[in-house]
Copies of this chain bind each other. A is one copy, B any other.
């Protein structure tokens, strides 16, 4: 039985579970259910809710399980329209606030402008499984938001409340290894977003080898659900390609011999927590953790993809290449270019300076680097340490980053300084080797019309 069909099975089990709930409730009509739900939400916010709130909250969450996409839209629209602030009261408060512009306190303004749905969410959270249900509800909302932008205010309240609840102070760092419950490991397989894990055997190579580590943040109310996790390889030197790290047959490095910890994959797990930032804290805490366990470690780097490079090549109007180079880049359209030695040598000479340019000079309108992964690590105070040619030959690696990978270096002593420079001036802290790569950049610029290689 293949992995995929297994998860299909699980999905179908869940589906059956939902039908069951629907049937047990004696009303398999989701439209009716969403109406009941909205009534119950109003009751939960009323005084009646104070006495029997838990039961009502649990029922609301159960009913939610029976809704299809259309009913969810109905529900979220109701949350927008019927569960805002008390407008009459709010107008009065605003009037009062305007009467005294010197007034020191805007508390009334703040608390009376709070949408009732926030209190609703807080009451739903009291039910068993409430936190989990609300995170899923927001994931559903985010999926609808793309088409139904008017729901943004509901999402803003969701996002706010979840950020408050998933405050880093409440998160627990846990090591994930072969002694971890399968129910958690299964999710590591499912949520791994950078270098796919196929099954438990594959996973074991990532978490049970002597030179591998994995850590995740967990929330006490979601104990079987990692929020974010990072996979670490212990190596002697800074690695220049992903392939050797993921090889099945390889020599293990004895942990006490390792000098370098490589963060080669970071994945967030909960769509419903989009926008709640954990990665920053996770990497730093894992650095501390590893330093304590393995005092011989001296270097903490990532081995990261370059997800936006090809897109930049395709769309940038001021690509610093000449006509010959431009036409050479056409070769990237062939999927097998990495196999042609001559080709790769020519491309390397053109692309390495372009990559350095991409990181150091190409900026978005707001002055930040174009690369999302770069923005994340540089914003955390890391340094761009090395750029590696042909480091990821997977289809995804070639398609997005022309095979480039980079190391971002975390030196806890410099993090604050780097971060400040990055924030204030947009300056990217980079090693001299990266800067040198830039210097190889040809002087000819502003060539237009380079045909971008096709996607796929």
Which A residues fall within an 8 A CB radius of B?
1, 3, 6, 9, 13, 16, 47-48, 50-52, 54, 80-81, 84-85, 87, 90-91, 94, 97-98, 101, 104-107, 109-111, 113-115, 122, 125-127, 130-131, 153, 156-157, 160-161, 164-165, 167-170, 178-183, 185-186, 198-202, 204, 209, 220-221, 224, 248-249, 252, 280-281, 284, 379-381, 415-416, 418-420, 423-424
Q: Are B9 and A248 in contact (CB under 8 A)?
A: yes
Partner of A115 from B107, B180, B380, B423 at Cβ < 8 Å: B107
Q: Are B115 and A54 in contact (CB under 8 A)?
A: no
Partner of A182 from B81, B98, B181, B198 at Cβ < 8 Å: B181
Q: Are A1 and B248 in contact (CB under 8 A)?
A: yes
Q: Are B419 and A51 in contact (CB under 8 A)?
A: yes
Listed from nearest, the 4 A-B pairs whose CB atoms lie closest are A51-B419, A220-B220, A110-B113, A6-B201
* A47, A48, A201, A248, most chain B CB atoms within 10 A: A201
Closest B residue to A189 by CB, please name it. B200
Partner of A126 from B9, B107, B168 at Cβ < 8 Å: B168
Closest B residue to A157 by CB, please name it. B107
In the docked arrangement, what's the CA distance between A231 and B107, Å? 38
Q: Which residues of B contact A198 (CB under 8 A)?
A: 1
Q: Are B126 and A47 in contact (CB under 8 A)?
A: no
Q: Are B126 and A104 in contact (CB under 8 A)?
A: no
Q: A178-B181, A181-B181, A380-B51 are in contact. Are A106 and B90 (CB under 8 A)?
A: yes
Q: Are B104 and A84 in contact (CB under 8 A)?
A: yes
Closest B residue to A209 by CB, please name it. B13
Partner of A178 from B114, B182, B201 at Cβ < 8 Å: B182
In the docked arrangement, what's the CA distance between A418 and B52, Å? 11
A304 to chain B, nearest CB (A): 19
Q: Which residues of B contact A85 (CB under 8 A)?
A: 106, 110
Q: Are A167 and B204 in contact (CB under 8 A)?
A: no
Q: Are B110 and A114 in contact (CB under 8 A)?
A: yes
In the docked arrangement, what's the CA distance between A419 and B51, Å? 6
